[in-house]
Amino acid sequence: MSLIAKTPKPPYYAVIFTSHRSVHSNGDDGYDEMAVRMEELASQQAGFLGVESAREEVGITVSYWNSLESIKNWKANTEHQQAQKNGRSLWYSNFTVRICKVERDYCL
């Protein structure tokens, strides 16, 4: 269940990961299990602030972090590195990752 992330007062950082799943993948190929595990693992990292995720034709996952260093450390995490490798070879036909500084926010 993905909710709207409760993030602190800006500035903080966002990683926007937009993807298309590979149509050639053999059934699930461990994708769903990986996605759950990566969200769990990310939430344990220093500097993690929250995550939001939805998929229709395109999948969008936005994770929020307190610094660029925490994003860098998460990218370098060993288990995450293996997921990134499988993502490139197996799960995604294409994706874009955007590293952003959140400058302002407001809510309803």
Q: Give the interface with its own copies as residue ranges (CB under 8 A).
A: 1-5, 7, 10, 14, 16, 18-20, 52-60, 62, 87-88, 92-108
Q: What is the DSSP letter of 29?
A: T
Indicate the residue among 79 and 105 with the shorter CB distance to its own copies. 105
Residues 6+ positions from 35 with CB-CB distance below 8 Å: none
Nearest-approach distance from CB 73 to its own copies, in angstroms: 16
CA 18/CA 98 separation, integer angstroms: 9
CB of 28 to its own copies, least distance (A): 17
